Chains A and B, each alone.
Chain A
Amino acid sequence: MFQLDQLSIRRQGADILHEINLCIEQGEKVALLGPSGAGKSTLLEALRRQQSLQSAWCPQQGALVPMLSVFHNIYMGALDRHSALYNLANLIRPMKAQWQQVGQLADELGIADKLRTSVDRLSGGQAQRTALGRALFSCRDILLADEPVSSLDENQGEALLRLALSRHHTTVTALHDRELALHCCDRIIGLKDGRIIIDSPCQDLRLQDLNELYRRR
């Protein structure tokens, strides 16, 4: 699915990623771990460029349009499935069929009652569910998500992550919760200072092994 050879990315004179070699097969559920600034988001973007048409994308920044309703923000995942005029009609007045589909998904995400509320009036957790909803509504095979459940409490976060992972055959998710990564995924890639320093199946790893990633030099 994904193949990176000696990928290096420099921005404004600083190394973001340094000679990354990576291969991800179809069916893998990968967790990206590492301290902030390790290059997780940049790596996800690089992966997205390889499979942009098949990837559902759930970024951290700029993910949602604050003044639009939850319905519209989720619906935006499907913009490419319809003509621009049909989309415009839905922007002005949601159609029944779309309302039901989006409503069903929102129900599974636990935000069915917020469908008519604009995102700028939601809590952080609710907004995050909406962002994930948009990714799921795009109905792609691959999920690339950047901290999709960071604003939710542990239990809710795990349930939601499992839901998201079950809808895609291949997933790469940047996480900061090490336990969550071990529970839900089957392979862990640990980044530090733009380099991969851990890459192994979850069953071979214990929580302590991951601490290496976060230790200060």
Chain B
Amino acid sequence: MNTTATRLRHTTLILTAFGLLAFFFADISVTTRDPGIELAKIGHGFLTPDFLATEKLWQALGYTLSFALQGVAVGITGGFLLALLWRWRLVRTASAVLRAIHELFWGLLFLQVFGLSTLTGLLAIAVPYCGIFAKVFGEFLEESDRAPARALPAGSDGFSSFWFARLPLVWQHMKTYGAYRVECAVRSSAILGFIGLPTIGFHLETAFRQGAYSTGAALLYLFLLVILSLRLWLRPVLLPLWLFATLLWQPPQASVTSGRLIRFLSEDIVPAPLRQADWQWSELADWLLNLLHEQILPGLGQTLILGMAALLVTGILALLMFPLISSQFGHRLSRGAGHSLLVLLRTLPEFLLAFVFVLVLGPSMLPGILALALHTGAIVAHLCGRFTDTLSLRVDAPGGLNRYAFEVLPRIYPNFLAFLLYRWEIIMRETAILGVLGITTLGFYIDSAFSELRVDRALVLIGAGVMLNLAVDAISRGLRQRLRLQHGLTDQS
């Protein structure tokens, strides 16, 4: 067949083959003794939420929002400045590295220097977001029309022409994207509680770990409420006010002595063999090889396996779920229910889902795959569903399965693949941090290294994670280019 569909089909087959291969190697056992009972207890907790059990609840919410808002403010400023230098390869590479490291890992890293402080919370979000904003804004500027700038009178200085003829073209996109990122930052900020920062995630983890599911459920409901109502009270006009309020309440600070900083830079992050006065290259090589064998390779392997398996399930779930919200199928009632389900799955961070699933199923790959696939699948399904709304099918188009298979699926498949490949990098990034929950991906080794105070190891492991992420990004971009896929809608859920 000499069809466009065939090319898409081949890519799908390859991805599916890798996904199945990953499942072959994946450990998807249920390791808890009685998952049913635990599930019933959690279910009961969700039916009987206890909103008064958590002390300092408002403070936790305050911290969550402070870190998010301040982090985005710093990140967006830094990202914007980097975006101005986007044509420099160095800037592009640096921002790729910044965003390849997850907020949680940045948090663990800053924790070593600044301790459990507001500054750690701010930086953990600001640094990766700086990389993300740099890329997105850089590409906005790159793709925007240059004609208005060229049409300016000769001799106009670069500064003025930027403000008059370049920035206005992308301003609206930047605002929309910034608003979307604030929502993401609140999620990230909550997750930072899992490494000890006093955000809502901290109380969530404590409650769930102690089996206080009613308390945990209440926190989760509250968290959902905050995110879903964000658009109502976090209006762009009010943003400076909110930011000012958080700065007044929790200014970013840390009690850091210069001795600690120097120790961190000159000792902690230096690979252990190099700390002796008379070190030799062979010792460093042994140390690295050892690390490679015992942690990097197994960690990377498991991350890759979990990520590929999750990608496969994500794709399947997305294809099953997008008709739930598509105007091409169902009726108003069914679409309403579909929207509610997808909003719920999109709003809950995959890390949080994985945490709850680990409690039920034990720390195998199964909870990780489920959590990643449900969350990302819902995002891809949402984007695909929204895309189907723009299709105008002929009036005699068939209904039901025929409509799905012949009319809708072929038309949205390029976009579906683009969304999925675009999300692949994010899946891998999230897969790595699932290690913090005890699933043996790369994050497991990073987390262990930090808790053993072996920052040197942690850095090498994080570096390996960066490599993996950059590679996946490159492969995904290559595939998208080969298939000439455009995702048509921006990366917003």
Contacts and interface: CB of A to CB of B under 8 A. Distances in A.
A103 interface: no
B394 A66 contact: no
A72 B395 CA distance: 18
A66 B411 contact: yes
Contacts of A72: 406
Nearest to B1: A116
Contact of A67 (B4, B392, B394, B398): B4
A159 interface: no
Nearest to B2: A117
Interface in A74-108: 76, 79-80, 84-85, 87-88, 91
Contacts of B157: none
Contacts of A69: 1-3, 5
A66 B414 CA distance: 11
A52 B5 CA distance: 30
A15 B273 CA distance: 84
Interface stretch (A19-27, A54-62, A189-197): A54-62
A10 to B, nearest CB: 19
B8 A84 contact: no
B410 interface: yes
Contact of A59 (B8, B395, B413): B395
Given A57-B396, A61-B392, A65-B410, A87 B8 contact: no
A67 B406 contact: no
Given A59-B395, A67-B411, A80-B398, A118 B405 contact: no
A63 B394 contact: yes
A84 B395 contact: no
A188 to B, nearest CB: 25
A52 B407 CA distance: 19
A141 interface: no
Interface residues of A, number: 28
B4 A121 contact: yes
B154 interface: no
A57 B2 contact: no
B401 A84 contact: yes
B393 interface: yes
B153 interface: no
A88 B402 CA distance: 8
B400 interface: yes
A45 B4 contact: no
A62 B393 CA distance: 6
A116 B396 CA distance: 24
Most buried by A among B392, B395, B413: B395
24 contacts: A52-B396, A59-B395, A61-B394, A62-B394, A63-B394, A65-B406, A66-B4, A67-B3, A67-B4, A67-B410, A68-B3, A68-B406, A68-B410, A69-B1, A69-B5, A79-B398, A79-B402, A84-B400, A84-B401, A84-B402, A91-B406, A116-B3, A118-B1, A121-B3
Interface of A: 45, 48, 52, 55, 57, 59, 61-63, 65-69, 72, 76, 79-80, 84-85, 87-88, 91, 116-118, 120-121
